[in-house]
Structure 1
């Protein structure tokens, strides 16, 4: 029994053999291929759903910068070109394309890696029946380290999801008092410094000049040059732009025309209050 016995074309089998046999014996390689085939390509009643999700990924991630995503889409395109298309995803028919697209996965200790990732996903609440679909829809996850790769990505996705649930309410003259209260609370929850920028004005990043003292003995303070600021100081200095951008995005065109000449987020809020009080 050889690599070609697992439905991989002879040319691909030859390339795989050259690529992998330097670090694997044939029995080791065959064992890994069998394991992957059993876990991911044993067939399932929900293949149609998985295929539809793959199509959505192809539609929305058509120009990705991420190499792992590009590889995954190339895998989908190979299957889509076959009769039956992406409905075959997860069946024996697409197994050769998996091996051809992701040969580097066979270098990994796949059994222990897959079992660790499966346990992690189950522990965070992913139903066991969905885990196989995750592997099929993004095979590179099998090469990811849980602590270094998967957990940080999940934390980033969680922040994005939470921010979508906590969007600032759209400006409303008719319900201005409620809008003002919800907006202040929103900014306070996002960042106390943003709330300060809106209520008190831009944050000034200062530095002390110890060589020049004021009459009370305190050092004179001047605006700190941008090239001397720390990353945190640059972030705080930019909060004025962040606050204005958020306020602009929640206004309709007519309201925006009335406040577009305002120079600060504080001035924007003051003008909105004045507009609503006049009405």
Structure 2
């Protein structure tokens, strides 16, 4: 299929992008193009105006400020892969980024584009929830800071307003004895993830002091697995503890909410979720300094 014609506008700054969006309320934002261009090509989007924000320096790059890793929304996956602080301080997110698509996709795709226009199997939705990330947006009148869990709370779309621009993703720096991980099952027929689980936990005095676990590819949006977290918090990590917690991965998720499509049935996804939850927890525990494989 061939895309229709549209007006192309390049934003020089965040404020300029917001001005262009105010002048063209139905415009589509373009960063890396890995979501928008396929949608246009497949006739799923037909914009009259496209605003390119990919060259705004203010929303590119990775910096550490006040115990937070600040990731500019226009930062590509490849740039994130090269960011040592992300690998050290936000392992779940770094691992999710490393398994997105192929090298060509990672060279162009951006974290902001992924989160602003998520597909239900998006690797990053689970990773940002488990990482306790904050999504920062800017609108014509104010800036908003939205927790990742709220950003992906069950809505028809994300919590991004039509007149807002996603500007950064802020991830708390991992403390000592904190480990994170992301594991996924990839579709056999497509390169998209079939299902993924992200986990981040901290161990103090042999017990789990903080824990976040989330999944993608299970429901229409990334979802936190709170029953798993509740089963681990305050407990000593061990093989039995992890297995028991992982067995609760489906608690609170109605069978009617599970994705059932050509790639996998709802029943198959339900079978996979506890297994991948256990794997993510085991890997996160190991990185936190606790071997639960025995």
Q: Is the structural similarity TM-score above 0.5?
A: no
Shorter-chain TM-score range: under 0.3
Which is bigger in relative contact order (C-alpha 8 A, separation at least 6)? Answer: 2
TM-score (norm 2): 0.22
Tell me which structure has the larger Cα radius of gyration: 1
Structure number with the higher helix fraction is 1
Normalising by structure 1, report the TM-score: 0.23
